[in-house]
Amino acid sequence: MSSSVERFDEKARRTFSRHGQTVVHRGELLRHPVYTRVLHWCVAITFVLSLLSGFAIYSPWLYRWLTPLFGGGPTTRFLHPWFGVAFTIAFFFQFLNWFAPMRWTDADKKWMRQVKTFVANREAVAPRETGFFNGGQKLYYWLIAVCAVVFLITGLLLWFDDVVARWLVAVSYVLHGLAALAMLAGFIIHIYEGTAAQPGTFQSMTNGTVTNKWAWTHHPAWYARVTGRDPREDYERECQRLAERDRVVEDQERTQDLPQASAGTPDDRVR
Ligand code: HEM
C-alpha cells in the first residue's frame, strides 16, 4: 500500500507546487510544501466548523449564540453532518500524506519520557533523535485518526437514526461527544504548541519554512538528515558567535560610555 500512497502524494505535491510557491530564504529549510499546507488548513477549517455547529446542536445554551452563524437552528442541524463529512475527507488525505513520518519509533518513546521537561520549558532543545515530528505530534495525529473513524461511524448512525436501533443511537451519541471532547483538548494544546509555546512554528504552515535554529532546536535528527550537519555543533557554534558578538558590543559600549542594552543570554537567542 505504502508505495502507491507515496506515488499519489508525490503527484499531488508536484501538482500543488505548480499553483503555489514556497520561498526558502537563506538560513531556512522547507518544512511543509503547498499540498500539505492546503490540506492542513482544509482540515482545520472543516474541523472548526464541525465543532462549532456540533456544540450549537448539543447544548441549548450555546444554541442561541452559535446557530445564527450558520443561518439558524435547522440549517445548523442540516450543515453539521456535511461539515463532518468534509472534515473526514480532508483528514483522510492528510492522514495519507503524513502516514510515513508519523510512524512511532524509539525516539518518540524517549521524547515521551522527557515530555514534562518540554511542557515546563525546562529543556528547550529536543533529544537529538527527534525527527520530522516528535512523539507529542504523532500522538495528536493518531488521536485525530481514531476520532475521525469514531466520528464517521457514530455520525452516520446518528444521521440515519430512524433506521437504527435506539440503543445504538444512544451509544453513538455518547461516543460522538467523547470523541469531540478529546479532539477539543488536543486542539487547544495543538494551537498553543503551534504558536506561543514554540515561536517560529506557525510560519511552517503559512510560508512553509522554518529557520535552521528552529529545526536544530525542536527536530535535530530531521535537521541532520536534510542539511547533513551536526545540530549540536551548529547550536554551540551559534552560541559562541552570539557570545562573541555580545562581548564586542559590551566593549564598544564601555569605551563609548553608552548605556548597556540587555537582549537576554546568547542561549535564549539560538533556540
Ligand atoms: C486553527 C488553528 C491551528 C493552528 C494555528 C495550527 C498550526 C499548526 C502548525 C504550525 C503545524 C506544523 C507543526 C510542525 O511543523 O512541527 C501544524 C501541524 C499539524 N496540525 Fe495544525 N493548526 C491548527 C489547527 C489544526 C486542526 C483543527 C487540526 C486537526 C483537527 C490540526 C492538525 C494538525 C496535525 C495532525 C499536525 C501535524 C502534527 C503536529 O504538528 O501536531 N491542526 N498545525
Distance CA 51, CA 202 (A): 22
Residue nearest to atom 42 of ligand 1 (CA): 44
| pLDDT at res. 17 | 85
| pLDDT at res. 7 | 87
- 175-216 confidence digits (pLDDT tens): 999 999 999 999 999 999 999 888 999 999 999 999 999 999
- 164-175 confidence digits (pLDDT tens): 999 999 999 999
For residue 29, what is the DSSP state?
E
Position 77 pLDDT exceeds 60? yes
Q: Which of 134, 140, 135, 266 is nearest to 213 (CA)?
A: 266
How high does pLDDT run on average in the chain? 91
Q: What angle do CA 215, 216, 217 make, to 5 degrees?
A: 90
What percentage of the chain reaches a pLDDT higher than 90?
72
Give the phi and the psi of residue 16 in degrees, each rounded to 5: -70, -35
Residues in contact with ligand 1 by the CB-under-6-Å rule are 31, 40, 43-44, 47, 133, 137, 140-141, 144, 187, 190-191, 194-195, 201-202, 204-205
Q: At what angle do helices 34-58 and 2-19 cross, to 10 degrees?
A: 100
CB 190 within 8 A of CB 140: yes
* pTM for the model: 0.89
| pLDDT at res. 153 | 98
Sequence-separated (6 or more) residues with CB below 8 Å from residue 64: none
Q: How far is the CA of 123 from the centre of ligand 1 (A)?
A: 22
Q: How far is the CA of 194 from the centre of ligand 1 (A)?
A: 7
Q: Which of 54, 64, 2 is nearest to 180 (CA)?
A: 54
